[in-house]
C-alpha cells in the first residue's frame, strides 16, 4: 500500500485518486465524491509528517467506501431512494478503525439498493459498468467498490458480503475480495441486510494489502455482540504449514452449466497447486445444492425485519402526498424501495407468516445447520477448498435484471459460505477469450482467514 511520506504527500495521493475518479465518471462508480473532506484530511496528515509526528499504517491512502457504511461524510443511502437525504450522525466501527490509521475516503460507491442483487443494476442511481467491458455488469452488490479498485482509482475499497456481494464483483473485475469469517469485523454502523450472514470485507489488488486491512479492521466490538475475540492478530496457531496443503475441489460444481472458461481456470489452478507439491482431493458436498433455496428464504426473512424501520419518519426520503400516518408509511415505502427490495420484503414476510413458517423458514434453518456440518466435515478432509465464485463471468447489462430467478442462480456457489459463516477469498484467475476477468474462491474453516490470505499467494 502506497502511504504518504515527505516526498509523496497525502495531498498528492488524494488529488491523483480524485482525478482518476473524475476521469472514469462514465462508469457510474461513485454516489458521492468527498473532495473537500479528503483534501482537508490529507493536509492534516501532511502537516503531521512535516512535524515528524507518528502517522498511521494507512497514512494518506485514498479509499472508496461502499454506500451502506455510515459516516457523517456524504449521504449514506445504501443506493436506495428511501435513504436519500440521510446523513448519519454515527461512524461505523470499521470506518473509524481505517481512518484512525490515516486512510482517506474519497467517495461512496454505488451498489444494488440495500445490497439486494448481483449486478448493481438495482441501484437507485443506475448501474455501474464493468471495468473490462462497458456493456457488462460490474457484479454486485458492491459493484462500485470492485470497479474503483480494478480501475486503479483507489488501492482498496470496503464491501459487504451477505451472499457473495464482495466475492462476485471482485471476480467480475479481476481483483481480490474477502468475505471474512462471520463476526471478524464489526457490523456496527453498516446498513443491515440479513444480520445473521452480513459480513464486512475488502477489495484489494494484493493478498498483502488484504492482510494489512484485516489486521486493522478486525476485532471484538462492544457495539456488535456477534463480533469474535480478535483471533486475527492474536492467534498464530491458525497459521497452517503451507509447504504441503490439502485442497478440496467440489465435484458438483464442475458441470456443463458452469462457463468453460471458469472450469478451465479451476483446472489450471489445480495443476499449479499440484506442481507446487500440494495435494488435491475431490469432495462430496451434496447438501450444498440446498444452499441457494435456504438462502433465499432465510435472507429475505431477515430483510423483511431489518427494512421495517424505514417508515418515512426517521430516515431520509418521505412521500409528500400522504394525508395520514398510515398513508405516509405506505406511500414512502412504495415510492422509496426498488422492486427487488419489495420482492424480498414480500417473500420474507410470507415465509415467516403463521401457517408457512414451519414449511419454509424452519425447514431452511434446518438445511442451514446441515450446511454448517457439511463444511465442518469437509475441513476434516482438507485445509482449504477451491471453487468458482459464480457459474459465469460478467453478464450483459440488462440480461438478467428482469428475471429474478436467473439473477438468484448467479449466487449458486457463493451463498453457502455465508450460511456456514466460513471465510472465502475471491482471487483473480485469468480471463476469458473475450477479455473478461475470471475468479475463483479459496474457502477455509472459521477463523482461518489469516492463513487463507497467506495461502492465496500459492495461487498467484
Ligand atoms: N446477490 C446476493 C443477494 O442478492 C448477495 C447480496 C449480498 O451479498 N449483499 O442476496
Task: Answer whether 106's CB lies under 8 Å from 17's CB.
Answer: yes
Instruction: Indicate which residue's Cα is closest to atom 5 of ligand 1.
Output: 163
* Confidence check: pLDDT of 207 > 90: yes
Ligand 1 closest atom vs CA 166: 8
Distance 79 CA to ligand 1 centre (A): 14
Secondary element (H or E) of residue 358? none
What is the per-residue burial (b if ≥16 Cβ within 10 Å, else e) of 301-321? bbbbbbbeebbbeebbbbbee
The pick from 115, 171, 193, 426 for probing ligand 1's pocket by mutation, whose C-beta has the most ligand atoms within 8 angstroms, reads: 115
- Please, which pLDDT band fits residue 132 given cuts at 50, 70 and 90? very high
Quick one: average pLDDT of 360-386?
Answer: 98
CA distance linking residue 227 with residue 220, whole number of Å = 5
Secondary element (H or E) of residue 291? helix 291-306
Quick one: average pLDDT of 120-135?
Answer: 98
Q: What are the residue numbers of the active site?
A: 66, 141, 165
- Please, which pLDDT band fits residue 192 given cuts at 50, 70 and 90? very high
* Confidence check: pLDDT of 241 > 90: no
Q: Cell numbers at residue 7, please?
A: 516526498
Instruction: Indicate which residue's Cα is closest to atom 2 of ligand 1.
Output: 163
Distance 244 CA to ligand 1 centre (A): 34
Distance 164 CA to ligand 1 centre (A): 6
The pick from 78, 114, 123, 165 for probing ligand 1's pocket by mutation, whose C-beta has the most ligand atoms within 8 angstroms, reads: 165
CA distance linking residue 455 with residue 10, whole number of Å = 32
CA distance linking residue 115 with residue 110, whole number of Å = 10
Q: Cell numbers at residue 74, please?
A: 456524504
Quick one: average pLDDT of 81-95?
Answer: 97
Task: Answer whether 287's CB lies under 8 Å from 367's CB.
Answer: yes
Q: Cell numbers at residue 42, please?
A: 490529507
* Confidence check: pLDDT of 313 > 70: yes
The pick from 163, 192, 299 for probing ligand 1's pocket by mutation, whose C-beta has the most ligand atoms within 8 angstroms, reads: 163
Nearest to 137 by CA among 343, 338, 406: 406
Secondary element (H or E) of residue 412? none
Nearest to 164 by CA among 437, 409, 341: 409
Q: What is the pLDDT of residue 290?
A: 97
Distance 118 CA to ligand 1 centre (A): 6
Q: Cell numbers at residue 64, please?
A: 472508496
CA distance linking residue 430 with residue 274, whole number of Å = 18
Ligand 1 site residues (CB inside 6 A) read 115-118, 141, 160-165, 193, 299, 411
Quick one: average pLDDT of 367-382?
Answer: 98
Describe the strand order of the beta sheet including 199-204 as a list of residue ranges.
30-33, 104-109, 62-66, 156-161, 199-204, 176-179, 424-431, 437-443, 384-388, 246-250, 279-283
Q: Cell numbers at residue 122, please?
A: 438495482
Question: Which CATH number does the domain housing residue 43 bear?
Answer: 3.90.1300.10
Q: Cell numbers at residue 294, please?
A: 435456504
CA distance linking residue 35 with residue 57, whole number of Å = 22
Quick one: average pLDDT of 420-429?
Answer: 98
107 backbone dihedrals φ, ψ, rounded to 5°: 180, 165
Q: What is the pLDDT of residue 123?
A: 98
CA distance linking residue 57 with residue 71, whole number of Å = 21
Q: Which residues are CB-neighbours of 32 under 8 A, at least 6 positions away?
A: 67, 73, 74, 75, 107, 108
* Confidence check: pLDDT of 236 > 70: no
Quick one: average pLDDT of 150-172?
Answer: 98
What percentage of the chain reaches a pLDDT higher than 70?
A: 98
Q: What is the pLDDT of residue 206?
A: 98
Ligand 1 closest atom vs CA 193: 9
* Confidence check: pLDDT of 354 > 70: yes
Distance 28 CA to ligand 1 centre (A): 20
CA distance linking residue 405 with residue 432, whole number of Å = 25
pTM of the entire predicted model: 0.97
* Confidence check: pLDDT of 162 > 80: yes
Q: What is the pLDDT of residue 321?
A: 82
Instruction: Indicate which residue's Cα is closest to atom 4 of ligand 1.
Output: 117
Lookup result for grid cell 438468484: 408
Number of domains in the chain: 1
Q: What is the pLDDT of residue 240?
A: 56
Quick one: average pLDDT of 95-108?
Answer: 98
Q: What is the pLDDT of residue 243?
A: 74
CA distance linking residue 455 with residue 243, whole number of Å = 10
Distance 256 CA to ligand 1 centre (A): 24
Q: Cell numbers at residue 439, please?
A: 475468479
> What range defines the domain where residue 451 resides?
1-460
Distance 40 CA to ligand 1 centre (A): 35
Query: C-alpha dihedral over 452, 119, 65, 339, to 10 degrees?
Result: -130
Task: Please report how the helices 291-306 and 363-381 are oriented relative to each other, as an axis angle in degrees rounded to 10.
Answer: 130
* Confidence check: pLDDT of 391 > 60: yes
Q: What is the pLDDT of residue 109?
A: 98
Ligand 1 closest atom vs CA 117: 4
Lowest mean pLDDT of 111-125, 227-241, 316-330, name the range.
227-241
Quick one: average pLDDT of 130-135?
Answer: 98
In 3-state terms, what secondary structure has residue 442? Answer: strand
Ligand 1 closest atom vs CA 168: 1
Nearest to 374 by CA among 438, 320, 420: 420
The full DSSP string for 372-388 is HHHHHHHHHH-SEEEEE
Quick one: average pLDDT of 211-219?
Answer: 98
- Please, which pLDDT band fits residue 322 given cuts at 50, 70 and 90? confident
Contacts within 8 Å (CB) and 24+ apart, 223-231: 223/93, 223/186, 223/188, 223/189, 224/93, 224/186, 224/187, 224/188, 226/182, 226/183, 226/187, 226/195, 227/183, 227/184, 227/185, 227/186, 227/187, 228/181, 228/183, 228/184, 228/447, 231/184, 231/447
The pick from 118, 197, 292 for probing ligand 1's pocket by mutation, whose C-beta has the most ligand atoms within 8 angstroms, reads: 118
Considering the chain, what is the average pLDDT of its residues? 96
Task: Answer whether 153's CB lies under 8 Å from 130's CB.
Answer: no
- Please, which pLDDT band fits residue 190 given cuts at 50, 70 and 90? very high
Amino acid at each position: 500500500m502506497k502511504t504518504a511520506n515527505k516526498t509523496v504527500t497525502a495531498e498528492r495521493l488524494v488529488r491523483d485518486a480524485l482525478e482518476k475518479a473524475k476521469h472514469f465518471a462514465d462508469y457510474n462508480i461513485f454516489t458521492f465524491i468527498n473532495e473537500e473532506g479528503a483534501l482537508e484530511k490529507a493536509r492534516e496528515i501532511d502537516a503531521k509528517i512535516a512535524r515528524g509526528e507518528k502517522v498511521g499504517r494507512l497514512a494518506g491512502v485514498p479509499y472508496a467506501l461502499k454506500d451502506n457504511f455510515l459516516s457523517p461524510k456524504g449521504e449514506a443511502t445504501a443506493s436506495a431512494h428511501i435513504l436519500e437525504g440521510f446523513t448519519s450522525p454515527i461512524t461505523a466501527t470499521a470506518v473509524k478503525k481505517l481512518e484512525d490509521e490515516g486512510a482517506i475516503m474519497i467517495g461512496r460507491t454505488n451498489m444494488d439498493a440495500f445490497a439486494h442483487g448481483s449486478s448493481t443494476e438495482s441501484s437507485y442511481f443506475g448501474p455501474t459498468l464493468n471495468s473490462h467491458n462497458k456493456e457488462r455488469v460490474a457484479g454486485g452488490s458492491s459493484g462500485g467498490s470492485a470497479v474503483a479498485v480494478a480501475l486503479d482509482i483507489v488501492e482498496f475499497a470496503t464491501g459487504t458480503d451477505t451472499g457473495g456481494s464482495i466475492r462476485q464483483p471482485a471476480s467480475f473485475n479481476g481483483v481480490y475480495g474477502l468475505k471474512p469469517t462471520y463476526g471478524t469485523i464489526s457490523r456496527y454502523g453498516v446498513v443491515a441486510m440479513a444480520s445473521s450472514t452480513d459480513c464486512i470485507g475488502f477489495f484489494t489488488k494484493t493478498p498483502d494489502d488484504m492482510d494489512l486491512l484485516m489486521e486493522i479492521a478486525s476485532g471484538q466490538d462492544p457495539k456488535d455482540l456477534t463480533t469474535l475475540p480478535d483471533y486475527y492478530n492474536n492467534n498464530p496457531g491458525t497459521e497452517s504449514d503451507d509447504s504441503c496443503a490439502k485442497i478440496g475441489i467440489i465435484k458438483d460444481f464442475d458441470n456443463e452449466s458452469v462457463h468453460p472458461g471458469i472450469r478451465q481456470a479451476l483446472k489450471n489452478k489445480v495443476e499449479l497447486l499440484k506442481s507446487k507439491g500440494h495435494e488435491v482431493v475431490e469432495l462430496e458436498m451434496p447438501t450444498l445444492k440446498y444452499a441457494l433455496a435456504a438462502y433465499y428464504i432465510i435472507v429475505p426473512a431477515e430483510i423483511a425485519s431489518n427494512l421495517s424501520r424505514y417508515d418515512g419518519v426517521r430516515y431520509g426520503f418521505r412521500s409528500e402526498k400522504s394525508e395520514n400516518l398510515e398513508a405516509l408509511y405506505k406511500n414512502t415505502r412504495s415510492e422509496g424501495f426498488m422492486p427487488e427490495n419489495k420482492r424480498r420484503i414480500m417473500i420474507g414476510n410470507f415465509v415467516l407468516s403463521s401457517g408457512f413458517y414451519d414449511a419454509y423458514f424452519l425447514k431452511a434453518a434446518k438445511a442451514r445447520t446441515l450446511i454448517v456440518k457439511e463444511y465442518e466435515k469437509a475441513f476434516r478432509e482438507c485445509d482449504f477448498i477451491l471453487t468458482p465464485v459464480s457459474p459465469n463471468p460478467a453478464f450483459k447489462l440488462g440480461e438478467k435484471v428482469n428475471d429474478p430467478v436467473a439473477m438468484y442462480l448467479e449466487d449458486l456457489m457463493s451463498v453457502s459460505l455465508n450460511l456456514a459463516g466460513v471465510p472465502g477469498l475471491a482471487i483473480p484467475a485469468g480471463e476469458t477469450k473475450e477479455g473478461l476477468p475470471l475468479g475463483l474462491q479459496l474457502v477455509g474453516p472459521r477463523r482461518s482467514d489469516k492463513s487463507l490470505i497467506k495461502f492465496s499467494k500459492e495461487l498467484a
